């Protein structure tokens, strides 16, 4: 059976990973885009991103654009793999396997 | 969008509900069967069943068979509905909707 992933299962993180994995591997999203998509606060999103980064599932890229700080987020190859495995584990559970 | 259900999303409870919803509406399962299926302790399973019962998602039937206490568990109609809605919400998320 595919591996059920407690880190990814948490609702906000599941939605973050689903949004990132849907992108092309080389694409990243803006912090504020994710925050508005998920309807969470800056602090809440930051905490979940920190957890996902710690697990090696996302890469966070902080930069400046026109002197303003911007944060971009992308799924890593490891994060994509863990997400796909978690989805497979979920599907097994939901089918009652 | 279908309703994401925090009570059902918890991993052990998701597996309990999936197992119960897979049965015929009139069927129930033995506590020990569920415990062994999920590989959890009596105390852990009891706590999750209590939470699901409190939400109205399962019915718990305590009885005696040959003077030994037995506990049976079944999904309620409300529980089946909440589970199906949660699965639909999960599917939307996993598709990146």
**pLDDT tens readout for residues A7-63:** 999 999 999 999 999 988 888 999 999 999 999 999 999 999 999 999 999 999 999
Q: Is A59 on the interface with B (CB under 8 A)?
A: no
Which of chain B's residues have a Cβ under 8 Å away from the Cβ of A4? 11
Closest CA to B51 of B22, B17, B18, B26: B17
C-alpha to C-alpha distance for B50 and A85, rounded to whole angstroms: 30
C-alpha to C-alpha distance for A38 and A30, rounded to whole angstroms: 13
ipTM > 0.85, yes or no? no
Q: Is A15 on the interface with B (CB under 8 A)?
A: yes
């Amino acid at each position: 059976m595919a591996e059920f992933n407690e880190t990814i299962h948490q609702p906000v993180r599941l939605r973050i990973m689903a949004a990132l994995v849907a992108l092309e591997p080389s694409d990243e999203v803006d912090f504020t885009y994710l925050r508005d998509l998920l309807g969470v606060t800056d602090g809440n999103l930051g905490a979940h991103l920190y957890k996902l980064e710690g697990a090696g599932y996302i890469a966070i890229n902080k930069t400046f654009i026109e002197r303003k700080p911007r944060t971009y987020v992308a799924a890593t190859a490891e994060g994509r793999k863990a997400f796909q495995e978690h989805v497979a584990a979920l599907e097994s559970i939901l089918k009652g396997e």
